[in-house]
Structures are given as C-alpha cells and as structure tokens.
C-alpha cells in the first residue's frame, strides 16, 4: 500500500451503480443504502432503460435531495464503460471511497459499511463469495461451476491469489482510482472487473477480501450473455500480454 494515500475514519463514500432495466429494484436499493451508517452519495449510470429505471431514480433524487445523481446515456454501451463514467463523476468531487455494486440485490446494501471498513489499511476491498468457503444462494450448479472456474482461470493466468477476482461488489480508495489510467480499462462486459483489478494491483496497491453472502436476483433478468463470456475468456490473456510487454 502506498503510504501517501490516506483514508480517515470519517470517510465520504460514493456508490456507483450501473443499471439497465432495474426499475423493480433501484428505488428500494437506494433507500436501503441511505439507511446505512456510511450515508453514501449514490450515482446511477443508466443506459436508457426502456422500463423506466431513470424515472425511478429521479423519484429518489426528490426523496433524497443532494444524495442521488443520475447519468443517463444514449444506449446500451456496456457495464465497464458505465462504471468508468460513474467513477469520473465522483472522482471530480471530494469523496474518499468509491463503492461499486449491482442493482439487483445480489449484493446486500447493508454490507457496505463492512466493505468500506478495511480501507483504513487496504487500497481495495473485494466482497468475496469464496474466501473461507462458498456463500452463494439460489444459483444452479452450472452457474456456480462457471463462476468458480472463471476465478481459477483468471488466477492461473494472472497469478493474483485472490479467491474472487470477478466480484463486482468492491470498495476503492478514491485516490487509488485517481492515480490509475481508467482509460486502459476498455472491457465492455464483466471482464472489466478483472481489468480494473490488474490496474490496481500492477499499480502497487493492496487488495483485501471481505466475506459476503451473494444472493441471486429475485427481480429482472441477468445481463450475462455469450459475448460477455467470450470477452471474459480472452481478456486475461490480453492483460498478461500487456503486462509482459510493459516489463520489456
């Protein structure tokens, strides 16, 4: 961990949430986040959801004035670019911590304070489904095997020694995100999470895993697709090649 990047106990926390067709979840999620001890500012990046997700967020902006922001993009431009768009907004402001999470309650909003707590020492906290055992509810065996094998695959290629490289429930020290080149995280899908992890770790920063319980969504549809899976297979090799090229 780099000693000049400090996080005080009184952290200002921003939560970045990428959405597409999450109207059935987003209002309740934002309300639950507002009730946590970290009292975050929530930034929703919505890719023109046809189900009215943006309108639901605007209602939350009225309910929680000054504590919710909405960025509406012109179309479905991908998870990775949505998160980077949210990062750029909050990094221009005076936040100490940036949290990312899904909108579908697979990540428990009440666990955000536990996720933020290790940043007194670590630079990145990962909400891990696998550290110390598997804690995933309502997944099929095939889905569990896919996720487990994906993490084994990433670790075999990139040697992270992190049990859950693909978790999207994370807390970053804002100064860490300011110090890396976010433009290099170009993945559209969930392989963005591995790419961002590479940038953080190769920047000399530390990561700490926090045990969480992951629950499969109850409302809405999963965003997983064949294209997302294909990108996830290829991207670790790209990152390894870029790492070796950088060494040379």
Check residue 218 and give its pLDDT: 63
3-state secondary structure of 97: strand
Complete domains list, the chain, with CATH: 13-247 (3.90.550.10)
**Cα Rg of the chain (Å, integer):** 17
Classified as helix, coil or strand, 195 is helix
| Burial class, 67, CB count within 10 angstroms (exposed 0-12 / middle 13-18 / buried 19+) | middle
pLDDT for 215 equals 92
**Residue count of the chain:** 248
pTM: 0.90
Task: Give the pLDDT of residue 212.
Answer: 96
φ, ψ of residue 41 in degrees (nearest 5)? -95, 130
Query: % helix / strand / coil in the chain, to the nearest 5?
Result: 45, 15, 40
Residues of the chain with pLDDT under 70: 1-9, 217-228, 247-248
CA–CA distance, 81 with 184 (Å, rounded to integer): 11
> What confidence score (pLDDT) does residue 219 get?
58
Taking alpha carbons only, the member of 96, 124, 98 closest to residue 43 is: 98
C-alpha 199/C-alpha 83 separation (Å) is 15
Concatenating the DSSP letter of every residue in 109-151 gives GGGHHHHHGGGGT-SEEEEESSTTS--EES--HHHHHHHHHHH
pLDDT score for 1: 46
pLDDT digits (tens, 9 = 90+) for 183-229: 999 888 789 999 999 999 999 999 999 999 999 866 555 555 566 67
Chain centroid to CA 4: how far? 24
* pLDDT at residue number 221: 56
CA 40 to chain centre: 15
């Amino acid at each position: 961990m780099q000693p000049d990047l400090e996080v005080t106990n009184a952290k200002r926390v921003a939560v970045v949430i990428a959405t597409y067709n999450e109207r059935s979840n987003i209002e309740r999620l934002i309300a639950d986040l507002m009730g946590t001890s970290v009292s975050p500012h929530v930034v929703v990046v919505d890719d023109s959801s046809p189900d009215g997700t943006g309108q639901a967020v605007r209602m939350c902006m009225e309910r929680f004035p000054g504590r919710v922001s909405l960025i509406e993009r012109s179309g479905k431009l991908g998870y990775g670019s949505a998160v980077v768009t949210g990062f750029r907004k909050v990094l221009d402001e005076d936040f100490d911590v940036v949290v990312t999470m899904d909108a579908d309650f697979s990540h428990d909003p009440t666990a955000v304070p536990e996720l933020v707590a290790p940043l007194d020492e670590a630079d990145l906290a990962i909400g891990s489904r696998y550290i110390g055992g598997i804690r995933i509810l309502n997944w099929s065996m095939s889905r569990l095997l896919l996720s487990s094998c994906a993490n084994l695959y990433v670790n075999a290629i990139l040697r992270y020694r992190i049990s859950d490289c693909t978790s999207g429930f994370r807390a970053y020290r804002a100064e860490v995100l300011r110090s890396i080149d976010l433009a290099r995280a170009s993945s559209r899908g969930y392989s963005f999470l591995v790419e961002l992890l590479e940038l953080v770790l190769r920047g000399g920063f530390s990561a700490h895993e926090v045990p969480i319980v992951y629950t499969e969504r109850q409302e809405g549809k999963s965003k997983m697709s064949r294209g997302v899976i294909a990108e996830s297979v290829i991207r670790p090799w790209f990152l390894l090649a870029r790492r070796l090229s950088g060494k040379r």
